């Protein structure tokens, strides 16, 4: 018996099960074991912190800018593009209300903030017609002892109404790995919880300083027996209302030997300000976005930006696109036949033009080695149309195996012919 079946047996025996691997709530519905809920991540991260929002927006914009194409696999390694295929329209126009860019922004944003993203596939006449993202705080997989997951439960009401049921084939589930939960993912932002809390504290501290026009506080020295105890509270109130915030900088009149001593910023305070610089780098790192892409680097240069942009696409965006491609192929393409293939097209992405030209140089070198043009186009994903003569293999005549008898005979005949001055190749067509 597998571990999933064993776990399913425990589920069937009890309505509430707690283990190191999963957390179970009423009805067999699994809840995430992440340290931040989707609501917390949205409010404390995306809606409150510049770098969190900037990173998530940058990822969503990049993924959403890439078009999708549908092909028919001809069976011999060749693909025929189907520009008017229903699947092409679905992937580039997911539904009536959201463009591809908006759809991808929601999908990547939910993954970043929740660790999970759910797509509902709406079918008409048995074929996918529209796709919608589902708020990850509403949706949960329902585990099954034999099927692993039997269906998905959607509860927008928070338990006040009967939840909805979505069948397994109607949901595409993306999830990041969570070592403590088998059925739902762990969000990247959960790993940055302490960084986010520290950033909020730094912002509040900075706000307090600037409320005083960035002037540090001070100490009012009062000689003994200058004022009566009951007058101290009144003096403190007068100073707070008359010489702070919008009244900062007004002249202070002292009497009776009183002195004002300004408190300078300590090295610890200065380090606290520097901590904000570290925080933004940690946020960029957790989302896999180079600081140059979001304006978080201290010394921006054009050369650094170009390298960062190419790295961002190759190391982060293409990874997400590959993930999407696998899910789309597994969940959508089979409705139209086993020979239907979906691929993303990055041939017109400006950030990858340098990388594209490197692939072109590679194709040129391999073509000179004899590889067919269409084969190189498919293998290197050049995005070019196939040509009629592009499947012909070529033999470079300047490279021949010396131990081949036929080639040796050819070389000897050629040398003899050239010596006798007959003026033609012995292998040439006499006509």
What are the distances in angstroms from CA 411 to CA 240, 395, 396, 405?
Answer: 102, 16, 15, 10
Given a cut of 90, whether residue 426 has pLDDT beyond it is no
Which of the four pLDDT bands, split at 50, 70 and 90, describes residue 24? very low
Residue 403's φ and ψ, nearest 5 degrees, are -95, 5
Instruction: Select the more confidently predicted residue: 413 or 56.
Output: 56
Strand partners, 68: 344
Q: What SS3 state is found at 271?
A: helix
Q: Kindly state the average pLDDT of the residues 115-126.
A: 95
Kindly list the domain boundaries of the chain, sorted by start residue.
3-191, 194-287
Rounded CA-CA distance 279/242 in Å is 36
Predicted local confidence at residue 195, as pLDDT: 85
Predicted local confidence at residue 10, as pLDDT: 43
Q: Model confidence over 123-171: pLDDT tens digits?
A: 999 999 999 999 999 999 999 888 889 999 999 887 778 889 999 999 9
**CA neighbours closer than 13 Å in the CB half-sphere of residue 97:** 4
Rounded CA-CA distance 351/312 in Å is 9
**Which are the contacts of 225, defined by CB distance < 8 A and separation ≥ 6?**
none
Given a cut of 60, whether residue 324 has pLDDT beyond it is yes
Q: From its phi and psi, is residue 102 left (phi > 0), alpha (psi between -120 and 50) or beta?
A: alpha
Predicted local confidence at residue 200, as pLDDT: 79
Rounded CA-CA distance 45/342 in Å is 34
Q: Model confidence over 358-374: pLDDT tens digits?
A: 888 888 888 888 888 88
Q: Which of 311, 291, 309 shows the shortest CA–CA distance to 300?
A: 291
Strand partners, 25: 29
H/E stretch holding 129: strand 127-134
Predicted local confidence at residue 129, as pLDDT: 95
DSSP string, 305-337: HHHHHHHHIIIIIHHHHHHHHHHHHHHTGGGG-
Predicted local confidence at residue 32, as pLDDT: 44
H/E stretch holding 282: helix 267-287
Q: Model confidence over 260-311: pLDDT tens digits?
A: 666 665 555 556 667 777 888 889 999 999 998 888 776 666 668 888 888 9
Given a cut of 80, whether residue 52 has pLDDT beyond it is yes
Given a cut of 90, whether residue 120 has pLDDT beyond it is yes
């Amino acid at each position: 018996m597998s571990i999933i079946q064993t776990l399913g047996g425990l589920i069937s025996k009890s309505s509430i099960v707690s283990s190191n691997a999963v957390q179970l709530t009423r009805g067999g519905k699994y809840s995430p074991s992440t340290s931040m809920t989707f609501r917390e991540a949205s409010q404390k991260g995306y809606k409150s912190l510049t770098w969190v929002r900037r990173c998530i927006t940058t990822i969503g914009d990049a993924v959403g800018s890439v078009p999708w194409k549908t092909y028919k696999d001809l069976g011999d390694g060749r693909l025929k593009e189907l520009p008017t295929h229903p699947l092409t329209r679905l992937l580039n126009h997911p539904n009536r209300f959201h463009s591809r860019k908006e759809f991808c922004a929601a999908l990547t944003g939910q993954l970043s903030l929740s660790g999970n993203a759910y797509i509902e596939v709406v079918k008409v006449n048995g074929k996918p017609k529209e796709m919608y993202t589902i708020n990850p705080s509403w949706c949960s997989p329902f585990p099954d002892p034999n099927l692993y997951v039997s269906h998905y439960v959607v509860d927008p009401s928070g338990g006040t109404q009967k939840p909805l049921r979505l069948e397994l084939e109607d949901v595409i589930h993306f999830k990041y790995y969570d070592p403590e939960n088998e059925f739902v993912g762990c969000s990247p932002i959960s790993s940055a919880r302490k960084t986010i809390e520290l950033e909020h504290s730094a912002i509040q501290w900075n706000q307090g300083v600037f409320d005083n026009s960035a002037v540090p506080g001070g100490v009012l020295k009062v000689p003994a027996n200058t004022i009566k105890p009951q007058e101290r509270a009144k003096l403190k109130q007068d100073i707070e209302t008359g010489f702070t915030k919008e009244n900062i900088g007004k002249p202070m009149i002292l009497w009776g030997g009183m002195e004002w001593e300004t408190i300078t910023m300590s090295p610890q305070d200065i380090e606290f300000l520097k901590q904000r610089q570290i925080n933004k780098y940690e946020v960029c790192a957790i989302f896999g976005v180079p600081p140059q892409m979001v304006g978080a680097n201290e010394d921006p240069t054009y050369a650094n930006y170009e390298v960062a942009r190419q790295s961002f696409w190759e190391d982060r965006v293409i990874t997400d696109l590959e993930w999407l491609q696998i899910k789309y192929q597994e969940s959508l393409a089979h409705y139209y036949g086993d020979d239907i293939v979906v691929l993303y097209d990055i041939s017109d992405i400006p950030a990858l033009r340098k990388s594209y030209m490197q692939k072109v140089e590679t194709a040129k070198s391999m073509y000179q080695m004899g590889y067919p043009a269409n084969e190189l186009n498919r293998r290197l994903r050049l995005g070019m149309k196939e040509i009629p003569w592009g499947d012909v293999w070529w033999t470079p005549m300047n490279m021949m195996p010396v131990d081949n008898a036929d080639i040796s005979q050819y070389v000897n005949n050629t040398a003899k012919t050239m010596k006798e001055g007959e003026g033609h190749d012995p292998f040439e067509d006499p006509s």
